[in-house]
Structure 1
Amino acid sequence: MPVATTRDDSWAEALFSEKEHDFGVVARGALTQHPVKIQNTTNQTLHISSIGASCTCASGEVDTQTIAPGETATLTLEMNTRQFYGKKDSNVIVRFDAPRFAEVRIPVRMYCRKDVVLTPGEVNFGAVDKGAGAERTVRIAYAGYAGWQIRGVQGGGKLLNAKVEEVGRTSSGADYELRVKLSPDAPPGPIRERLVLVTSDANNPKVPVLVEGEVEDDITVRDVDLGTLASGQEKRFNVVLRGKKPFKITAMACEGTAGDNFGMKLPDAERVVHVVPMTFTAPDKGGAYSETFTVDVEGRDEPVIFHAKGRVLGG
């Protein structure tokens, strides 16, 4: 008689930075997203075959399905506050089919208030030019008892200025506007913050509001992930620099000790978009590596900076 065996998925569960997430008490219509890192600490390439959920109130999305050794993917957990309210529990299910099958379940939960509605569901600045600053408004509608109030806003740090103002009141509710300003001093890069509305509700006094966006420099370039290479292996790749207007590259340099492992061919004309062909020859020494590059631009006081990272096997 065959003996039943139990599949061990603990190797895959150990790759996740969090094993569960509680979104807490949230408003109706609010955007509820939370990132979880999946770090490949094995010596084999991982492949995510599918992402599902045990309830339509939850979902998950990953930024890459193939994760080389040493690389990291981001799984974004989300719960639907537009169609569901009250207490909701679910599981986001991540399935791997390489290097072998595994299934990881991440419990997620929330309590979505029916009496507080955000429109839109987050403060989204979108793409903002460096130094320009920005302002967005979220409308907050409450339906419950006459004395309910928003007493203040917490969070945001030095780069966000948030103020809330009552704009209407009825015998059973109130309307507010949340105005959020992004400082012109905000540095280039992604914005992901959380504000908290502090209310007079003794049972659930706090309502979170997600803030997202991206501050863009006059010239943008993405970091390079070269993946995993064998010692001595050569890889060709392109670095793309995009400007608000035509610009000329005068020099590019690697600040680390691996500068001789990189080759490049710089363009000699002004363009809005530059595609710089580069090559990398993996060094003899194995392990993870990271290098910083500076790009000098004619007429620009500060260089443009990007990073290249990867992993070398052997050595």
Structure 2
Amino acid sequence: MTGAKGIEQELRAALEAYLTSYLTRWDLQKAVALFSPTIHGVGTGHDEFVPERRVFLEIYERDFRQAPNAIVWEQSRLQVAVLSDTVGITTCELHLHTQIQGQEIHLNNLRQSLVWKRHESGRWVIEHLHISFPSTEHGQDESYPNKELEARNRVLARLVEKRTAQLREALEEQRQLANTDRLTGMNNRPRIEELASTEFLGAQRYGYPVSSILVDVDWFKRINDQHGHLIGDSVLKAFADIITARLRAVDHAGRWGGEEFLIICPHIGIEGALALARGLRETIAAHPFPKIGPWTASIGVSQYRPGETLQDFFGRTDAALYRAKELGRNRVEVAPNGP
């Protein structure tokens, strides 16, 4: 079921399941199964602030001991606010009837607001709970008009917006971690392949040029063997910083593997890519690397040819790099069979 109307029906059904398990069936386990692990809330009757799920369980167990009989409930009002596909609010007014110690107990006009969040399994769970008890039982003037309920919904909506923003930030952080090479902070290979594929499709569809540059740290094994892997790591980080500083705003770069770095240059032909690569080689050769002194890089360059596959494109760039190594390293070469 999709759309706001469908989500509203889902929230109504979730509220019905919660009230039935908690009140009519008096089933503690089913009721608390609808709680989010991070649930919190407040009950204005006893001024109880509930900061975590454990405290909710303690309060519910206490309620079950104090009122062991099932509760007959009537719902006089219900408002459902759909904030997003994964967040909603239900605000209802209830009238409760039960027996405690042989006496009939009637609690009218109990107001309850629940913030619901869609669990990754698809079911709805309660993230925040607010209860306002009847004024006859818990102090004077506990009767809230509609404006008060609407104001509470706005407060809860702001709370949900804040929590949603926090969730978005956490998801973005996870996405960044999944796409980033931990050592250099550049795009990792899966991410640079994804970006290259996007530009590749753009070149096929719109006909703009795309070039690639593959950079290899010369004699990198010597660095690790003579100076240790920590120094080797620092050299890779320095290479990444140099490459990143030379990029245009539209370029994409990432660690291709080991001591190799790939640069994807959209909207630039072979001559422009060669100029960028030569400037990069000169910058690297002039850089004073700590502990190891001056160092060099070999670079291969190619331009996408209409009709070739992405693998062919990368293969020609790799062949250009291999040629640069064969010819003595510290140089820029185009693939033997042309750009």
TM category, shorter: under 0.3
Normalized per residue, the structure richer in helix is 2
Relative CO higher for 1 or 2, CA cutoff 8 Å, sep ≥ 6? 1
